[in-house]
Structure 1
């Protein structure tokens, strides 16, 4: 484990420790290392300062939310160390309007009928594309748009080095297949490089050093850590919710001309900028206040906190079965805290009483707060966590709390039923589990008391690792689509994006506003004389 590894060294062993990618919840992941060693520590990240978690600044003793040293992308571009990007956006009709049978023409409706589908049952949002439905002609139109506008190599014939960011492995494979069907004259031009690729290391090296492939289609693999200076096209074939991730993806294209070893792959033999072709209207200039790095609460800590809330609800009647069961469950969790872990050792003297029976004789709100703040977080160090079992347990404990507090239980019950319905036959037919499974899948769960819900956890939680994969109702269509929107984007005023049509509208509105309200214009309209100073002011 991490504890066993770093504790082989003395706290003073290292004079300097450097952490890379420190935006990634460093307080949770590397807290033990930070607390254990005495050496100086430096944290590095390419993430804009506004998107770094506050804990990270505190860990590295920064002043407020200001990094010790900052070299922003804009400055690197101004000083020619990196190159700027040109954003281009395009979306098809189906992306913007969705695929709805009631809106399709007769030819498309007939095509659905020939496929054995009822047209009026087809009702997909644009955001469902490549998640629950795929339309071949949409991919065709996206590739056509790419080939029309992408930065080409020195010959002007082939695309320059390009990374396409796809949603899923099947999406990446569909993109590659459609491209190869459309452009058979360019064999080897495109290659799928993902974590599932057999020889991904060789494929990345080939993409970096050889003429072909020119287009690498990736799924969460080439987003970070890949250095191909000649990349001049980034294609966003998916929506990216995290601005931190989007920034890392953009970074794949920022290397300047001096870093390039193959000018023949570059437009006119030079790299002055790179092109971002965005098919999903991603926010390239998100406000840092709108997003912070999400802090994931470990599932065991989440269960612990839910059980503490159960105690709070039942604190006025400590003799109830639910109170006693919850106390037993909490003590069982506390027994799993590894006392040999460094972070546990250093605070053990503060919390050792929770292992003693006397602590639990009479629980108070103060003690519950103590458990939440001091003890629960230590469960992050528990070894050998069965995540599937713990996740199921968390849902059932949450259902107990919802039942006792009068909150809606529908979504939680549906999630529990979905989990249980995916258990294989050998689990469902087991005599000791049959009753619990029946209770989950029947209306009984809607009225089950906390004791019955605890029995469900005991019977089924450790079987969640045996669940079958979800049934995938993915639908593949081939209906005619077309590009509904296409435009380059101007960047101005602190990098805010303005579409060309929108920019024109804003200018025209401003001119009309001035015409309607400016006193000098009014004088001219009325035929009155105006002076030179007035004209200059206008």
Structure 2
């Protein structure tokens, strides 16, 4: 059946009919499911040959979500049209400025009265799709508003699409082109509608007289700590969420006789004092004072001090150790330094409060221990965005300057970084992605002082107003520059080594990153400089110039907050950025995205240094040795990575000298076997049975007992499944080297009536430490298994190795991977499994012929048989008459993705496409192969399809 006919039949006649990638779709923003109209628009743009938008309302924030896609289309020579209007004076002059900067977008203004259209039309090579409904091109309409839109697909000769195109062409012909002169005239007379003024972002400071959504529970928690007799508390909160105001609120509820607020830079003291004065509005100014190099207001009730001054003996000893009953340490992750430790060791307050956005440290100091592991409250970036505590941001991952195939990388010298062509390129990209017409107040983070200074000079030569600052500049110079930025005298401050933290400039509306990401912590700190809300700031633009850097994989780590180091998660979160909450957006240019993929592929995620860092960070937080399950529960690190590094987790612990192994080699072989084959949790039966055997003092189980156990956990318990599980745990399933590897660790032997524990497992159970770690492994496996549907042999869109795929499809015996190749079949059970690597690479030598397997769309794959096959070959005969066969498809993007394949479900051959072709195998020789189209029973999830393509 034709794909479009199939889709229409599924949508409008019989929902039981299998649909296709052309299925009509009702699109409703559902943030809780991370489903948005925005995603569909982006998907359509990625694959179109042209487009036309007809929308009444456009905002700069809404336009930002599509800019990287429009830029990629421009590189392909693809352009589009946008028809809009001045209806209700909703569209601001700035958005028209932004539209003018998109080179492959033609914009016209309709003079139609009450123009209120909301439609998006996309032309593709063989069809057209259109979205019509209630959504304008605004960030709210695309992500958060409750909107209804319908997506339909048509061939060129369809009547509806003809009507739409005719109408659009008519409206386009009568509309006026958008010009700069028109914008200038519009700006002079522009008066926003009243309801727009009402919905403008209010000054968040005006609301701080009352605690916000983060501060209320934090205050309750701090009081509960004190009520429980604790004298320390740690607050972990994303930059911009109001930590200083929280501290002031808690000081107010504590009501100390005297308070000390310690910071590492004098620049912060003035804003901190201003915040406190708002909360303590009835206190006289004389109660507030500074203790710095220039001020010694020693009698002030609320004293704000720099650690540089306070830690000197002549200053510290002016105070009695018990003089302050409440002490606050700002940016407390710095408290491991000797100067901070000296201050903390000297004073004995009734309560010590620590504030930080980034408690994770790489210097070995344990912040959690300093505060007796009393975490009063924690809110990270994603949560803060969801609670609307921060300014929304638009992150643009932009491809850095490239010349003659050479891209900026870790080894680029200064001349490459400041060459005039790169400066012009940077300015062109900042004009495209930057704020339209509004006064930019930005920070640009650089890697080197000379780079920052030279770039600042060259920007100034081109009409900008900038300065360069580094740690070498005095505090007075920095303060003066910040004040000039705030009052609009500067566009940018180029900075190195400073402003990562501890600086409060709410006016910042643009952050530019011109340096490689060395740390996800620093990345978030730098991005956080723009996240503080401000009365004139609707959002902040984060423009990240991505070169060919080794550490690019840290970008998705930082943006997601996912520190698991799972390569698969990192790839998916780079491809699909809908994880971001609220009105923010994340988009990468295609080439920049590919550079991140390249970095992920080459990164050594399981390097011992990385594993040790993750381990000790979690240990510091837990105040005990982490078990394997702790890594999964806390999402601190991928437990599969850390467990498999030394074949099992206890061996890793022994390697880093955290434990001594006290059990036998056989017991260790059991842990090795289960770590490899059971820990991933892809089938529940094995860990359920293993845990039952561990927890109960039994030597044998009958087949009926085993069946009852599986049934009690709502698991399939037919004879075939049961025997498959038993053959795994007895290692009878394995052959050759795998048999030799796993047999010493077998748990059971199979008997005529059921199972009996292996001698090795019986003996190992006598060791308490072994039992603890085996239980930890099995509990972790249960948590990992929650991603799988255990009512079926395989879970669609999950990943499996060749060995796992055949194992769960209940092959009688293991097949060596080299013998599987591209496909293998079980004639007796009529099961056919196909493994396809889409991108085989230019130097692929794994087969006689250059296979061109390809996903034609998200419902169809073009597939080739093995070499030397003809229409009369047995497997091809099966494909021509496959009605009774289950044909399972496993696909991976490339060998860089590792050994696992995504399971895409079952496929059916299209007999009309089966044909023989001749392929060259070199040396003037050739082989016949058979090609055909395979139709998926279930269309591939578009996000995964896009990633695989």
Q: Say whether the fold is shared (TM-score over 0.5).
A: no
Q: Judging by fraction of residues, say which structure has more helix.
A: 1
Higher CA-based Rg:
2
Query: Which one has more relative contact order, counting CA pairs under 8 Å at least 6 apart?
Result: 1
**Which one has the bigger strand percentage?**
2
Please tell me the TM-score bracket, short chain as reference. 0.3 to 0.5
Q: State TM-score, norm by structure 1.
A: 0.45
